[in-house]
Structure 1
């Protein structure tokens, strides 16, 4: 039984918590429990608009919950640092993804730490299980930040 639980947890589905303000309004600031599946990462079936769990590029002991805005080869429009309305173009390198929180004004994401290696992904969020009043599938939303493909 222990082996089966280990295989399901490592290669199937597990529960985790998305906590903090970066994914408002998709997830609550106080934290939502979600189901995460790993098969999409293992089969490279992650698309723009998916919400993923990844190792934090700034602290490998933590994970982040963010939306995929771009994949390798995409060009992303990113606000210039210290600029009011200006943008710059950033090309996502092959083997990397661009992650951003839904709450653009309060999220530490690829705008801060750059493209994230695909190998840092841990799984794709597909179902919110808590709070029960919000039980349901997590919507995939594609944002218009990709300039070219």
Structure 2
């Protein structure tokens, strides 16, 4: 009887858990300094964030969103960056092959907050929205850093012209 109950719990629990992780979201560890000071402001501490898959289910992101995406350089790696520009926007680049880039349809421009210490669109160009897999909603660990992550852009990294 106990084995049958345990089997039922596992048989129902695993699909529900997988569905939750695939549809709603999950907690992830943020590594590195590319998003300082927003994430991992002190190199000896690591932030954990809740990544909402639900928030990007329609591939709708906003300027200033902190998103998780598949790295265009290494498809086995996920990276966290801030959306700086959306399709139709023109952005001034930092070290990219062109000084100004108009973001093509279905793409966005992402950058790490720690300029000069990040691999981002200034390295690989505009990224396809198809690579976006979640939006970082809040810091969940450590408790001293509990906070929501609002969509905000630093003044120095705003698009030159933005579509509405």
TM normalised by structure 1 equals 0.91
User: How far did 1:140 drift?
Assistant: 1.8
**Contact 2:95 2:123 (C-alpha < 8 Å) held by counterparts:** no
> Is 2:57 the counterpart of 1:17?
no
Matched, 1:70 2:81: no
Q: Is structure 2 residue 164 aligned with structure 1 residue 146?
A: no
Q: Is 1:120 the counterpart of 2:141 in the alignment?
A: no
Q: Which structure 2 residue ranges, 5 or more long, are not aligned?
A: 1-12
**1:117–1:81 CA distance, 2 compared to 1 (3 A):** closer
Indicate the larger mover: 27-36 or 108-117.
27-36
Q: Please report how far the alpha carbon of residue 119 of structure 1 lies from its aligned counterpart in structure 2 after TM superposition.
A: 0.4
Which residue of 1 is the match for residue 16 of structure 2?
A: 4
- Residues 22-81 of structure 1 deviation map (CA, whole Å, 9 limit, x = unaligned): 000011144311001112211233100000000011011001000000111110011346
Assess if the C-alpha contact under 8 Å between 2:59 and 2:132 holds in 1.
Answer: no
Change (3 A) 1:89 1:100: same
Measure the CA separation in 1 of the matches of 2:95 and 2:68.
26
Report the Cα distance in structure 1 between the residues aligned to 2:153 and 2:29, rounded to whole angstroms. 23
Q: CA RMSD in A?
A: 1.7
Does 23-32 or 101-110 show the bigger shift? Answer: 23-32
State the shift of 1:143 in Å: 3.4
Counterpart position of 1:46: 61
Indicate the residue corresponding to 2:76 in structure 1: 61
Gaps spanning 5+ residues in structure 1: where? none
User: 2:95–2:122: 8 Å Cα contact kept in structure 1?
Assistant: no
Structure with higher Rg: it is: 2
Q: Is the 8 A contact 2:90 2:101 kept in 1?
A: yes
- Does the residue aligned with 2:160 lie in a helix, a strand or coil? strand
Q: Is 2:48 the counterpart of 1:33?
A: yes
4+ runs deviating over 6 angstroms: none
Choose which of 103, 109, 115 in structure 1 pairs with 2:114: 103
